[in-house]
Amino acid sequence: MNGIAAAYRGTNQVGLRASNERLALSLVRIHGQLSKAQIAEITGLTKQTASVIVRSLEADGLLVAGRPIKGKVGQPSVPMHINPEGALFLGLRLGLRHADIALIDFVGGVLEQRRLSCGVDAVGEIAPQVQSAIAEMRMRLTPGQNVRLEDLGIAVAADLLDALASDAGNDDIEEGWAVLDGVASRINGQTGLRIYMDREAVAACTAEIAYGLAGSAPDFLYVFVAHGVDGGIVQQGRLGFSRREGRPGLARVLVPTARGEVAPLGRSVSVDDVGLTPGTRAPDPALRKWVVSAAANIAYAIHSASALATFRSVVVDGPMPAWVRAELAREIKESLAAFGLPDLSALFVREGTSDRQTQGLGAACMPLLDRFFLHSTFDPAPRLESE
């Protein structure tokens, strides 16, 4: 079993079956498949308790049994898998120029997706478009699938938040959230779906945990480079950052500036500085200079984060071409090595997978993890339920 298993231990106490069910689902998601005996071994639960939990999840349609595997002795082992149709989720990404909505299944498969017209001037009016898109998607689902459609996650891009705050005549991000909370409330009223809403970095990191390479890593620092730098620490597979400005987050870490001052990392590095888009192809001197400068600032922030928490790797992500992200990750690794500290030099720095994710997938993963899997102790996903 991989390193994340040791962090997940169960309890045999009566009344905590829901927690243990989340535990079992999380482990099956991470490993791909597990038998009842393996679940009991990893979690420390009795075989009887593990068997009861698995039978309950199978009866609810969340787990499905695979083909029995015959061993040398005893009964065949039956591997359990996540049932793709066990639950369905919707994800909506709100950007500065457009919005994207996706319908995903329980294993992250994209069943349908579409782009909606959106902009800073029209974001307040997007609720009817979202309601119409959801209604059309639901018409193509079977009755059984409609019953299993759970929630809607909304991921908000940082540039949209800034634009909304600017339109309000100040730099208070909460002004932007107030507008978006109103949008979420209208969507909730029109669809009856429970709404989760958070920053795009939270959504992208959630998808990385659920379906990216980070799913097998219990502890890492997530660095999301977009309109600004966002992210934070993930420990035992759980996010430790959220939309709330007062909560921990990488954007708040102070780093040196070219003027010899210090400033928050979140405002010191931006893909906007060099006009990066996912389609950018050719390197140029200005881009190379940006990569070196951004990597140095991010490395300082990683150093500060490592003084307060233990993590084994750093995941560098964001809406940029894969080759730029790879170069940024390499440069961060070199900047960390230049500090001459063994623990920083030993960190594994790699690229995230947001460029390979459908727009809206990360947003849909927020309710997916919150409802069915082990999730953040900081409760990163504010929920809005219909009355």
Residue 379's CATH number:
3.30.420.40
Which range marks the domain in which residue 227 is found? 213-352
How many Cβ atoms from other residues are within 10 Å of residue 97's Cβ? 11
Examine the pLDDT at 385 and tell me if it is beyond 80.
no
Is 67 contained in some domain?
yes
For residues 343 and 238, state if they share a domain: yes
Residue 273's pLDDT is what?
A: 86
Note whether residue 39 is domain-resident.
Answer: yes
Verify that 105 and 191 share a domain, yes or no. Answer: yes
* Pair (336, 261) in one structural domain: yes
Quote the CA–CA distance of 332 and 318 in Å, as a whole number. Answer: 15
Residues 6+ apart with CB under 8 A from 276: 287, 319, 320, 321, 324
Q: What is the pLDDT of residues 64-101, one digit of tens each?
A: 999 888 765 667 789 999 999 999 999 999 998 889 99
Q: Are 378 and 344 in contact (CB under 8 A)?
A: no
In terms of DSSP bridges, do strands 229-235 and 238-239 run parallel, antiparallel, or are they unpaired? antiparallel
Q: For residue range 331-350, what is the model confidence (pLDDT) as tens digits?
A: 999 999 999 999 999 999 99
Q: Is residue 190 part of a domain?
A: yes
- Percentage of residues in the chain having pLDDT higher than 70: 85
What is the 3-class SS of 82-121, one letter each residue?
A: ECCCCCEEEEEEECCCEEEEEEECCCCCEEEEEEEECCCC
* Per-residue pLDDT at 5: 40
Residue after which a domain boundary falls, among 48, 82, 116: 82
Asked whether residue 254 falls in the same domain as residue 324, the answer is yes
pLDDT of the residue at 170: 64
pLDDT score of 175 = 81
Q: Are residues 47 and 175 in the same domain?
A: no
Q: What pLDDT is attached to residue 179? A: 87
Please tell me which residue, 15 or 256, carries the higher pLDDT value.
256
Measured between alpha carbons, how far is residue 18 from residues 156, 265, 382 in Å?
A: 30, 39, 21
> Quick check: 227 and 270 in contact, CB under 8 A?
yes
- Model confidence at 377: pLDDT above 70: no
Whether residue 65 is found in the same domain as residue 146:
no
- For residue 263, give both structure tokens: 């400033």
Which CATH number characterizes residue 58's domain?
1.10.10.10
Helices (H) and strands (E) in the chain, counts: 13, 15
Of 94, 15, 22, the residue nearest 370 (C-alpha):
22
Instruction: Tell me if 208 is assigned to some domain.
Output: no
How many structural domains is the chain composed of? Answer: 3
Determine, yes or no, domain membership for 66: yes
| Whole-Å CA distances, 122 to 94, 128, 177, 199, 279 | 11, 11, 15, 19, 26
Residue 149 shares a structural domain with residue 71? no
Binned at pLDDT 50, 70 and 90, residue 102 comes out as very high
Return the residue matching tokens 């894969």. 322
Say which residue the tokens 């990488």 belong to: 250
Both 36 and 104 in one domain: the answer is no
Listed in order, strand segments (DSSP E) in 283-361 are 313-317, 348-351
Residue 368 included in any domain: no
Q: What crossing angle do the helices spanning 17-31 and 47-59 adopt, rounded to 10°?
A: 80
Question: Of 15, 47, 82, which residue sits at a domain end?
Answer: 82
pLDDT value, residue 13: 45
User: Which pair of structure tokens corresponds to residue 188?
Assistant: 């909730």
Q: Is the pLDDT higher at 354 or at 202?
A: 202
Distance CA(68)–CA(66), nearest Å, equals 6
Please tell me whether the overall predicted TM-score, pTM, comes out greater than 0.85 for this model: yes
172 and 147, same structural domain? yes
185 and 265 together in one domain: no
- How would you class 6 by CB atoms within 10 Å of its CB: exposed for 0-12, middle for 13-18, buried for 19 or more? exposed
Do 242 and 181 share a structural domain? no
The answer to whether 123 and 164 are in contact (CB under 8 A) is yes
**Do 219 and 344 fall into the same domain?**
yes
From 82, 102, 117, give the residue that closes a domain: 82
**pLDDT on residue 345:** 92
Q: Rounded mean pLDDT of 179-191?
A: 91
207 domain residue, yes or no: no
Q: How far is CA 135 from the centre of its chain?
A: 26
Q: Which burial class, exposed, middle or buried, applies to 117 when counting CB atoms under 10 A from its CB (0-12, 13-18, 19+)? A: exposed
* Reported confidence tier of residue 16, pLDDT bands at 50, 70, 90: very low
d(CA 103, CA 156): 17
